[in-house]
Amino acid sequence: MNENIRFTKEHEWIVIKEGIAIIGISDFAQRQLGDIVSIELPKVGSIFKRMQSMAIIDSVKASSDIYCVMSGEIVEVNEELLEHPEWINQSPYESGWIVKLKPSNMEEFHNLMTNEQYNKFIGETEENREKYQSGD
């Protein structure tokens, strides 16, 4: 796992390499969604504001919006996912990346959760879900 990875409460991840942000969904998110059957990708050149919906993932369980983690311009989309949406399930941090973005505000990156903070967040989310389901 890349130590420079950051996460949102909506379960997107982001890594910045050479000034370009690579964005996908977390392993936790893909497990919650189940088998992913298709994805709608944004167009290259599209400009998004932070936390604006930019893509839609369809799984056997549900359709989910994927949010733009940082403001910026889409410079590349993972076209391979159109043929192989299951890569998001199999390799969410490697071959299952969704878009590459040229960020317009690097400050937004520092406001995201670190891997450690995210693991704590999803641990609490799991505990709360179990309490809710057991009726405590």
- What the chain holds in terms of domains, given with CATH numbers, is 6-134 (2.40.50.100)
- Residue 14 pairs in a beta bridge with 6, 23
- Residues 51 and 110 sit within 8 Å (Cβ to Cβ): no
Paired strand residues for 36? 59
> C-alpha distances in angstroms, 4 versus 30, 47, 122?
21, 24, 18
Q: Per-residue confidence of the chain (136 residues) as pLDDT tens digits?
A: 667 899 999 999 999 999 999 999 999 999 999 999 999 999 999 999 999 999 999 999 999 999 999 999 999 999 999 999 999 999 999 999 999 999 999 999 999 999 999 999 999 766 665 655 555 4
Distance from C-alpha of 91 to C-alpha of 86, rounded to nearest angstrom: 8
Tokens of 89: 């399930």
pLDDT at 132: 52
